[in-house]
Structures are given as structure tokens and as C-alpha cells.
Homo-oligomer: A and B are copies of this chain.
Amino acid sequence: MDHVDVPQFLGLLAVMLGVAKLFGALAQWIGQPAVLGELVAGVVLGMSVGGLVDPKDEVLHVLAELGVVILLFEIGLETELRKLLQVGGTAAVVAIVGVALPFALGYAVCWMLDLSNLVAVVAGASLTATSVGITARVLSDLNRLQETESQIILGAAVIDDVIGLVILAVVVGLTEGNEVTALGIAKTTGIAFGFLAGTLLVGTLIVTPLVRWVSRVDLPGTPTMFAVILAFGLAWLASVAGSAMIIGAFAAGLLVRGTPHAHEIEKGVAHLGHFFVPLFFVVVGAAVDVRVLNPLDPSNGQTLLVGSLLIVAAVVGKFAAGYAPFWFTGNKKVIGVGMIPRGEVGLIFAQMGFASGVFDTGLYSAVTLMVLVTTFVAPPLLKHLFPPVEPGQIPPKPEGIEELVTEP
């Protein structure tokens, strides 16, 4: 039965979108990426401050997920598959080091603090993921998506998401006391990567004729809606195949980019993005409990200590990963910083750890604090290292960098 008060929900959406746009504009005005403002809007409206936006609300959750799916589709639309494959090896190294190092550092922090082995594993795992949504949005805000560094970050973040799924499956198995086998891990990994490869292979053959065919229908917006249907359909298929929704949506974007209607679709989907994507960032922001930041509350002392150590592990681990592909002569700092934000993926780990009873409230808050800081420091840092360019303008960079990117 129907429990949602629809008019009130419309009012809530109006407030969420209004505050997100206002804070987005303010962020831009003080020289920061708009997404930072949208995240702050979420914190302000969220449970710990304004109390208006409940990230656990079922309908909001679905709208936010539609937002991240549409965002990843848009990012896919702006990504050249050829270029992504070119940097594939570099991205894979960044991804693997960027998972292994934060995990090891996080585990070490917990071990130092005399926490149990299971707690250390789950805390370490919560440090591994990168929120591709936040970084991609920042790079898009800066008009820097086309650069080699950005392609490496995107590639690494996508691989990260696949690895993250495997880790999540393993950690859920551990917290539930199940046995975790090497064969099981290999199977999960194979399915996740196999889906992406299979989709791209089959898709390149059939998507262009399909778009041509549907665009002959004399109904306005048909190519755009076809693309949305493809993105949602592949997101669903990805999930059924044991991969992540956003990987399906990203693959849909890569496929549509090759079609003659890509530009028209990009413009149409952008309007859906303006609606759904800020809802995603507001919900991510709303899930953060800023009360753990209050140093005057003595009960926050231990949380702030553990959180600070986890922040160091999280930042150092990902930043160092940017330097892992030693042969890459581009801006390694940008890559390292681009991998830092944990966003909603980190929160999913934190909530999973809390719900299964592995984390107590203090540790849950410490992980939340790590997510909060990594999510909020990356956009301004990235902007500082990678100044925005006007659309179409060729960004200033040292000569010949692109040519020097060679796989090992």
C-alpha cells in the first residue's frame, strides 16, 4: 500500500534540488567544484543537522541510485573506449595498489589499536573503494574528463568498483561466518570482469544499428529514451551477472558514444542528469553524521583518534597508488588525489560493518569520519592540482606527455 505523502515528497524534492543548486552555485562562486556544494547541501539537510533528508527513505534511495546510474552513463558517454583501453594497464596498476595499500594500512592501524582480526579486515576493506561518482563529477565540472590522467583515474575507479564487489562479497561472507574459498573469489572476479568485456564486445556490434533503427520513430526524444533504457537495462543485467549496476551504466555510455546520435543523446540525458545527479550527492551528504566531528564531546575523543589514523591510511594509501605506475610521466599527484574520495561506497562498507555487529558505534563513526574527510578534501585538492579549463579549450600541459604514456 501507499505510505508516501506525494505532495510532501514533491516539496522535499523542491527543497533538496533548490538547496543543492544554491550551494552548488556558492561553491563555484568561491572557486570550488559544484559537487562540493551539493554534498554540503546534503549534510545541511541530512539527519545530523537539518533532519529533512533521510538517506534510508526508500523512494529517495531509488532516486539517488537513478542519479548515480545516469551520472556513470554520462561519464561513459564522455569516455573514449580506445583511450581507456590504451591506459588500461596503468589504470589496473593504480587500482590494485590503491586497494592493497589502503587495506594494509587500515589493517595495521586497527592492529596497533589492539582491535580484533575481523574488525581490522572490515575496517581495511572500507578503505579500499573509490567513489568514482565524486571524482568523475569533479573532473567533469573542471572540463578535464578527456585528459590522460582522468582516463587513468576513471579506468582505475571502474576496476576498483569491480574489486570492491569482490571484497564486499568476501567480507559479507566473513561477517556471516561463512567459509571463503579462493575458487569463489576467482569466480566472482571472473564474472565481474567478464560481464564488462562481453557487453562491450556484443554491444559494439548491435548498439549502432539499434540506435539508427529507433531514431526513425517519429516521436520526440526517442534516441535519448533509447539510451536511458539501454543504461537501465545494462545496469540491471550487470547486477544480475554479479557485477555492479554502475558498471553496466558506464558500459552503456561507452557504447552509445560510438553512435551517430551520441551528441543528441548527450544533450537529452544531461537534463535528466541535472535532476537526478544532485539528488544522489545530497543523499550521500545526508548519510554523513557530522556530530562525530565535535571535539567538545568527550565521547568523540577515541572516535576522532581512530578516525584520524584511518584518514591518514586512506589518503596515503590512495595517493601512493597514483605513483605506482612509475613509467607514467603525467601528473601522478592528480591520479593519487583523484582516487581519494570514498563517498557512498565507503559508507556502504561502514553500514554493512555496523549492521553485522562487527563495528561498534565508535568505530562506525570513525569510518564515517574517514569517508567525510576523504570525500570533502578531494574536490578542492583536485581543482588546485588540475585547474579548470573552458569547454573546448586545449588545457596547458607539458609537451609530449600523451605520447609518453606507454604500457610497461
A residues sitting closer than 8 Å to B (CB atoms) are 1-4, 6-11, 13-14, 17-18, 21, 24-25, 28, 34, 56, 58-59, 61-62, 65-66, 69, 214, 217-222, 224-226, 228-230, 232-233, 235-240, 245, 268-272, 274-275
Report the Cα distance A66→B10, complex, angstroms: 8
Known A2-B61, A14-B232; further 20 A-B contacts with Cβ < 8 A: A1-B56, A2-B56, A7-B236, A7-B238, A8-B236, A10-B66, A11-B236, A13-B232, A17-B225, A17-B232, A21-B222, A25-B217, A25-B222, A58-B59, A221-B270, A221-B271, A224-B274, A228-B275, A269-B271, A272-B275
Question: Assembly of this chain: how many copies?
Answer: 2
Report the Cα distance A17→B274, complex, angstroms: 20
Given contacts A4-B58, A272-B275, contact A24 B219 (CB under 8 A): yes
Instruction: Report the minimum CB–CB distance from A345 to chain B (whole Å).
Output: 15
Among B25, B34, B220, B229, point to the contact of A18 (Cβ < 8 A): B229
Instruction: Report the minimum CB–CB distance from A190 to chain B (whole Å).
Output: 20
Report the Cα distance A168→B246, complex, angstroms: 44
Query: Lowest 7 CB-CB distances: which A-B pairs, in order?
Result: A7-B239, A11-B236, A221-B274, A271-B271, A14-B232, A14-B233, A10-B232
User: In the complex the two chains form, is A28's CB within 8 Å of B218's CB?
Assistant: yes
Among B6, B17, B225, B228, point to the contact of A61 (Cβ < 8 A): B6
